[in-house]
Structure 1
Amino acid sequence: MTLPAAFLHEVQRLIPSARRFDDPLSTLAFGTDASFYRLIPQLVVRVESEEEVVQLLKLAQADRVPVTFRASGTSLSGQSITDSVLIVLGEHWNGRDIRNDGEQIRLQPGVIGAQANAWLAPLGRKIGPDPASINAAKIGGIVANNSSGMCCGTAQNSYNTLAGMRVILADGSILDSESPASVEAFRASHGKLLEQLAELGRQTRANTELAARIRHKYRLKNTTGLSLNALVDYDEPLDILTHLMVGSEGILGFISAVTYNTVPEHPHKATALIVFPDVETCCRAVPVLKQQPVSAVELLDRRSLRSVENMKGMPEWVKALSAGACALLIESRAATQSLLHEQLAHIMASIADFPVEKQVDFSEDPLVYNQLWRIRKDTFPAVGAVRQVGTTVIIEDVTFPVEQLAEGVNRLIQLLEKHRYDEAIIFGHALEGNLHFVFTQGFDSPEQVQRYEAFMQDVAQLVAVEFGGSLKAEHGTGRNMAPFVELEWGHDAYQLMWQLKRLLDPNGILNPDVQLSEDPQIHLKHLKPLPAADAIVDRCIECGFCEPVCPSNGLTLTPRQRIVMWRDIQAKNRAGVDASQLKADYAYRGVDTCAATGLCSQRCPVGINTGDLVRKLRGTDATRTRTANWLAGHFATALQGTRLMLKAANAARLLLGSRLLARVSAALSKASQGRIPQWTPAMPQPVHRLELPVPLDDARPRVVYLAACVSRAMGPAASDPEQQPLIDKTRALLEKAGYQVVFPDNLNNLCCGQPFASKGYAQQAERKLQETLDALLKASRGGLDPIYCDTSPCTLRLVKDLNDPRLDIHDPVRFIRTHLLDRLEITPQDTPIAIHATCSTQHLGEAQGLVDIIKRCTTQHVVIPEGIYCCGFAGDKGFITPELNAHSLRTLKTSVQGCREGISTSRTCEIGLSREAGIDYHGLVYLVDRVSQAKPQMSS
């Protein structure tokens, strides 16, 4: 189907071109969600307001154009893709309203679930749903899929904690259930619709057999089909309507806001791992535990445990478990520690008579319980990490009645063995009888597709027919289970779902073939290819967990989309299809605008750093080898050239003035396509030639100070109240704390190699790294003295890539935290401070350390801007691709209002932060030096 010209014309009038995408790169990038399906939209529209959604739906109705809504695209069953029009949430859907000390929270659909919990945490509350994707999934998707999770169960899902909803129906009408005026207007305009819903409710409740079946189905976790429980739980048609929207996967309307009744987030918790000798014993313990004060009980079969037993940090005993072992991971939470201990005693007493193969007792130690939870959380990625290239990871999601859980697990294992899914694992939320089974599947041949089809038919018969369970417990129906909805629910319930669909979406424009489909083969169509692209990213399962922390998200591409596009380009190359235009577009959107800082790897279930791929691609285009060699061999000269350029820029500022220089340099930068950096008031002044002291032989403890190249070249901006160069300020602080500061020999020629590595010159980067290693070994007397590096990115490069156990290398945060604070007396200042933990600080595990230090340095609040994970400056990206920095920090200025200064640990990051925030950012040592005095014994 081709989109009607009249529709396209009106959309062009409604939506700015910057938020409309129909080029091949964009449509393929957005055509991917976390499922194993792919549809390429003809048009992608990023919406920023309710009015835009209303008008788009009216246009779609007029021309019968199907539309699909997308929040974060972490759904697993194919419910957020389309070959028509994809409506994607923009960035202006993040509103919240916290009510009654956190007992309720009103959220717009673009809020990430974890962010909602962060807002509620100080009040001791959280939202009920806790899906594994909560750090990436947005409220719109969480509600539309009725997502649950490990602790949520059924009592705390979106359906059962819903307090109100604002929804846009297929005809463009708006209903806000919390607004009396909106309700009154909707009753007037849609009275017939409400009466039809009320009548369907009366008919359903009067059909005792159907009503009993619905109630039975929803005592289990169940997201198969529409939420028919709305018709038996409520008689008020507005309540029916809003609860039908929960779990509707966008086939009934657009959820514009939702109000949750929140649940307590108890501060005290403990976790235990109990390994039973067999599945039967393990599952018999579950109903017993269900009667106890437990917040989560996770089942792990022996295959699951085997999949993670060789991972770093896993206990050795996991390898020695018997072949039939089956484990329960148990967590309990309480408002007080004494109550928690009371609960733990009751829990252990309840299962004392069960035979146990191995036991890790309840622990309140974060190190212990985090390791236990890691066993559970690493199972899914463990399968993804070892799968054959070209296959996809499928995670299915079923519910058995808890009283039949043991039989269900064993029958499921038999099916996996029958269909030769030898790598498959089973784990799940045991309290609800909810099992996930993970397996790898290729779709590159008819035989593979037939194998999958046969397996799914067997699973459907087993779960839905034999056990009366749910084929989808929490992942949503999507395309994946649409052909099996009638099998699970029966004819009457299935037809009732179609009645509701046709009542609310009579023209069938909302997300067709999702949940309800007349195509019995829809689950076998539009299967996503995962072709080999590069060993660095071939393990990617396209889940989208990486996207929230990517600075180019919303500007060009996300890490997931970079991988999707590179896979497609490589597949086209192998097939002899011309991909030159795609590759040309990818050069800017995929490579040039990637910060390559690797924050994506921290969120990735299989640890993929998309920046590694980008650096490799840059390496293939890195043709100026002679220049790189010269720079590596004459680094001090190059550094002096940087100082001269900064000196010239500073002279131009004095001559032309800041405003005129900014305009002139912007024009020059644009004309040179970014090769000439754009001057801004945050541009540093040059550091003059360094005068380094000769080490003295005295009794003070020594510290080797490796001043990064940026610290040796770039001083404070002209407008910064702090005018002393970082290298001088750092030396003064170290000496104040009683240290003798030693500099490595030939410092001006030293470089960690990061500038070369980021440009793709790996050989030159390694050369500079080795030179630095040799100098540090000599200066530290073979590793006897600690080494202080004043810039976090350089520290990370040294720690990660040198990985030399002889050297004790510290970034500013770690050194101040572990070596200086005990030697200084802090008198905190009385002004608020903004904080930016660089990507490198986060990789080094020092982000919280930075916050803790700054909290000691001020009596006022510290500001950690929401939603900013990476500043996007990325070495020199802020100079040559300033739009990346500007986009990443687009909300910074608003976030730091009321602060007079910001603190970070990277000079280049601080340039971009100062530029976008309108306040001066400088290094941590400036703040610590300002508020500290040497303790008497240190100065004597």
Structure 2
Amino acid sequence: MSAEAASSKETTASTDLSELAGELSSGALVTDRDVIDSYSADKALFCPAGEALALVRAASVDDVVAVMRFATTQRIPVVTQGARTGLSGAANATDGAILLNVAKLNAILDIDKVNQTCRVQPGVINQDLKHALAEHGLSYPPDPGSVAISTIGGNVATNAGGMCCVKYGVTKDYVRGMTVVLADGTVTKLGRQTAKGVAGLDLAGLFVGSEGTLGVIVEITLGLKPLLTPPVTGVGIFPDTESAGHTVSEFMSSGAAPSMLELLDGASVAMINAYGDFGLPDGAGALLIVQSDAPGRSGVAELEAFEAVAKRQGADEVFFSEDPADSEMFVAARRAVSPAMEKYVSGIGGGELVDDVCVPRSRLGEFFARLDEIAAAHTVEVSTAGHAGDGNMHPSVLFDASDEASVAEAKETFAEIMQLGLDLGGTITGEHGVGYLKKDWLVRELDAGAQVLQSSIKAAVDPLGILNPGKMLG
């Protein structure tokens, strides 16, 4: 054990929590070790989880304020959490930290039809918000694969995107303002309620994607859209991912504006077919699922243009449907990637490491060609799905987690995929965040000037370094 870890454990053992308990809602403070440990990690592999001092399940903003004031006074780290569905270890405990879970702050505070906005607390589940907005003829487009279980606060913390982002953008495009509790317990409002506003620096935008390293978000104002039109859906079947990647590049360069353009490689299709009956063709090298919600016959025309491009790039077959049931089935198939993969890896040793690289879509064909080379050079499996329309791919490395050699090879393969993303002018993470998993890679992506800026901002907002230490900015 390092001297730093030993010192942290001594602090954990000696800290008197009675003062904090007196400031919190009844039952908010948890000191039971088994319960604390059950909250100590998200879904990421290869990310250590330390021994936290306590868990606070905040029931109010006042609880959050009390935690941050106590933590500042006692120099105790704080790790903010929501549903803990993340894939980068950002919600993992550090030794001696207070785990501040805000999942109970889950109220939809206001829905404003005139201004097309809503105010929500961070614990609101994305899908629950969508259902509530639909009753008012409104929609919130960002839809990560974890839409049914991830929170708006978590989506803001990682700037999540999803399947509609090719046309409708990612989380940051909808965040207008927020209320944040800073490291010392100060409550401040950032951003705006209005559609436009440039009063000062965009501090709300700074907090989007900050992964709990700058403050605790306790309320968010989101811009909304009118309820989206039911789309027309098309499917292109390809012999390989490279031809599918070239199709995406050519189709999008034509000025097309699909509301969805998703890719499944052959391995993903096989796993989904083994998981459930979604009507996907067996034996495909890759699928592109494309949707258009353009008005009238314009949607059909857009898919006809997709068909022409796909056939020029070597598609085996292209078909499309205006039946809403077909659209729902193909979207359900795309969302089934995660549970289908989980079922598959349970039979090969349980190892699943999901990457999250994003490359310029003009280089998708090259990305897939080189990804195939990486996969062929290793004995672990690589299966890929993702948001092809904006170049954000999720190659998953599948391996035997009980075998040291397989684990080592999985890590090497994962690293090679991240380097490939950088080599092609992309980024190490499109929407999953840096967290602990990729923090050592962040310095490879950011130049020296950017590193200084990021460190300076962190030091200015969190001078004691108590907010999610050891994650993202290191």
Q: Please say whether Structure 1 and Structure 2 have the same fold, judged by a TM-score greater than 0.5.
A: yes
Check the 8 A contact 2:244/2:310 in 1, yes or no: no
State whether residues 97 and 106 of structure 1, in contact with CA within 8 Å, keep that contact through their aligned partners in structure 2.
Answer: yes
Q: Which amino acid aligns with 1:329?
A: I
CA apart distance, 1:33: 2.0
- Cα distance change of structure 1 residues 414 and 446 upon mapping to structure 2, 3 Å threshold: same
1:751-808 deviation digits (Å, cap 9, x = unpaired): xxxxxxxxxxxxxxxxxxxxxxxxxxxxxxxxxxxxxxxxxxxxxxxxxxxxxxxxxx
Query: How far apart are residue 435 of structure 1 and its match?
Result: 0.8
Query: Aligned pair in 2 of structure 1 residues 368, 54: CA closer, same or farther (>3 Å)?
Result: same
Question: Pick from 509, 522, 529: which aligns with 2:466?
Answer: 509
Structure 1 residues 92 and 244, CA gap change in structure 2 (3 angstroms): closer
Q: 1:227: which partner in 2?
A: none
What secondary structure sits across from 1:68 in the alignment?
Answer: strand
Alignment counterpart, residue 385 of structure 2, candidates 423, 427, 442: 427
1:414 is aligned to 2:425: no
**Equivalent residues in 2 for 1:609-648, closer than 5 Å:** none
* 1:52-71 paired onto structure 2 within 5 Å: 52-71=63-82
The aligned runs of 1:34-45 (5 Å cut-off) are 34-36=43-45, 37=47, 38-45=49-56
1:448 to partner: Cα distance: 4.4
Aligned with 2:99 (options 86, 90, 97): 86
- C-alpha separation between the residues in 1 aligned to 2:78 and 2:121? 20
Q: Distance in 1 between matches of 2:20 and 2:308?
A: 65
Residues 468 and 488, structure 1, Cα contact 8 Å, conserved in 2 = no
Task: Name the SS for the 1:398 alignment partner.
Answer: coil
Match of 2:149, SS state, is coil
| 1:369 equivalent among 327, 336, 348 | 327
Match of 2:122 in 1: 109
2:137 and 2:150 map into 1 onto residues whose CA distance is 22
Q: State the match for 2:217 in structure 1.
A: 255
- Residue 420 of structure 1, CA deviation: 1.6
Aligned-pair RMSD on alpha carbons?
Answer: 2.5
- Aligned partner of 2:112 among 92, 99, 118: 99
Q: Which residue of 2 aligns with 1:243?
A: 205
Query: For 2:83, which of 69, 72, 78 is the aligned residue?
Result: 72
Match of 2:339 in 1: 381
| TM-score for both structures, normalised by structure 1 | 0.46
Matched ranges for 1:500-579 at <5 A:
500-517=457-474
Q: Distance in 1 between matches of 2:335 and 2:60?
A: 36
Q: Distance in 2 between matches of 1:448 and 1:342?
A: 48
After superposition, what is the alpha-carbon deviation per residue over 1:580-635, rounded to whole angstroms, capped at 9, x for unaligned? xxxxxxxxxxxxxxxxxxxxxxxxxxxxxxxxxxxxxxxxxxxxxxxxxxxxxxxx
Call closer, same or farther: CA 1:417–1:174 in 2, change over 3 Å.
same
Q: Is the 8 A contact 1:415 1:455 kept in 2?
A: yes
Assess, with a 3 A threshold, how the Cα gap between structure 1 residues 459 and 293 changes in structure 2: closer, same or farther.
Answer: closer
In 2, are the aligned partners of 1:101 and 1:123 still within 8 Å (CA)? no
Aligned to 2:5: none
CA distance in 2, matches of 1:179, 1:462: 39
Tell me what 2:451 maps to: 494
State the one-letter code of the partner of 1:12. Answer: A
Q: Distance in 1 between matches of 2:269 and 2:469?
A: 40
Give the drift of 1:300: 1.7
Among all aligned residue pairs of Structure 1 and Structure 2, give the percentage whose two residues are the same amino acid.
Answer: 28
Secondary structure of the residue that 2:385 maps to in structure 1? strand
TM-score (norm 2): 0.88
Give the match for residue 319 of structure 1. 282
Structure 1 residues 665-694: Cα deviation after superposition (integer angstroms, max 9, x where no partner): xxxxxxxxxxxxxxxxxxxxxxxxxxxxxx
Matched, 1:140 2:153: yes
- Please give the residue correspondences for 1:745-824 in structure 2 after superposition, counting only pairs within 5 Å: none
Q: Return closer, same or farther for 1:452/1:90 CA change in 2, 3 Å cut-off.
A: closer
Report what 1:289 is aligned to: 251
Equivalences for 1:645-660 in 2 at 5 Å?
none
Q: CA deviation at 1:105?
A: 1.3
Distance 2:278 2:131 in 1: 29
Deviation at 1:337, TM superposition (A): 4.2
CA distance in 1, matches of 2:207, 2:328: 36
Q: C-alpha separation between the residues in 1 aligned to 2:152 and 2:16?
A: 29
Aligned pairs for 1:19-34 (under 5 A) are 19-34=28-43
- Structure-2 change in CA distance of 1:154 and 1:59 (3 Å): farther
CA positional deviation for 1:5: 4.5
Q: Which amino acid aligns with 1:67?
A: V
Q: How far off is 1:339 after superposition?
A: 4.3
1:639 is matched with which residue?
A: none
Match of 2:57 among 42, 46, 70: 46
For residues 479 and 178 of structure 1, what CA distance do their matches in structure 2 show?
28
Aligned residues: 455
Say whether 1:299 aligns with 2:263.
yes
Deviations 1:688-743 (A, max 9, x none): xxxxxxxxxxxxxxxxxxxxxxxxxxxxxxxxxxxxxxxxxxxxxxxxxxxxxxxx
Partner Cα distance (2:35, 2:143) in 1: 31
Deviation at 1:449, TM superposition (A): 4.5
* Contact persistence 2:397–2:410 (CA under 8 A): no
Mapping of residues 655-804 of structure 1, within 5 Å:
none
CA separation of 1:92 and 1:329: change in aligned 2, threshold 3 A: closer
Shift of 1:90: 5.1
Task: Tell me the distance in 1 between the aligned counterparts of 2:33 and 2:361.
Answer: 48
Is contact 1:3–1:65 with CA below 8 Å preserved after alignment? no
Q: Per the alignment, do residues 377 and 139 of structure 1 end up closer, same or farther by CA in structure 2, a change over 3 Å counting?
A: closer
Q: Which has the larger radius of gyration?
A: 1
- Are the aligned partners of 2:383 and 2:398 in contact in 1 as well (CA < 8 Å)? no
* Letter matched to residue 411 of structure 1: R
Higher helix fraction (1 or 2) = 1
Once residues 312 and 442 of structure 2 are traced to their aligned partners in structure 1, the CA distance between those partners, rounded to angstroms, is 41
**1:270 is matched with which residue?**
232
What amino acid maps onto 1:283 in structure 2?
G
SS in 1 for 2:267: helix
Task: Specify whether residues 356 and 153 from structure 1 end up closer, same or farther in structure 2 by C-alpha distance, changes over 3 A only.
Answer: closer
Give the 3 Å change call, closer, same or farther, for CA 154–54 of structure 1 in structure 2.
farther
> 1:56 and 1:348, CA in 2 relative to 1: closer, same or farther beyond 3 A?
same
**Cα distance, 1:430 vs structure 2:** 0.8
Q: Secondary structure at the match of 1:56?
A: helix
Q: Offset at 1:483?
A: 0.6
Match in the other structure for 1:14: 23
| Greater relative contact order (CA < 8 Å, ≥ 6 in sequence) | 2
Structure 1: 5+ residue runs without aligned partners? 181-233, 518-940
Whole-angstrom CA distance in 1 between matches of 2:86 and 2:44: 6
Distance in 1 separating the partners of 2:242 and 2:78? 47
Asked if 2 retains the 8 angstrom alpha-carbon contact of 1:271 and 1:329, the reply is yes
CA contact (8 A) 1:268 1:340 kept: no
Bigger fraction of residues in strand: 2
Say whether the 8 Å CA contact 1:486–1:494 is kept in structure 2: yes
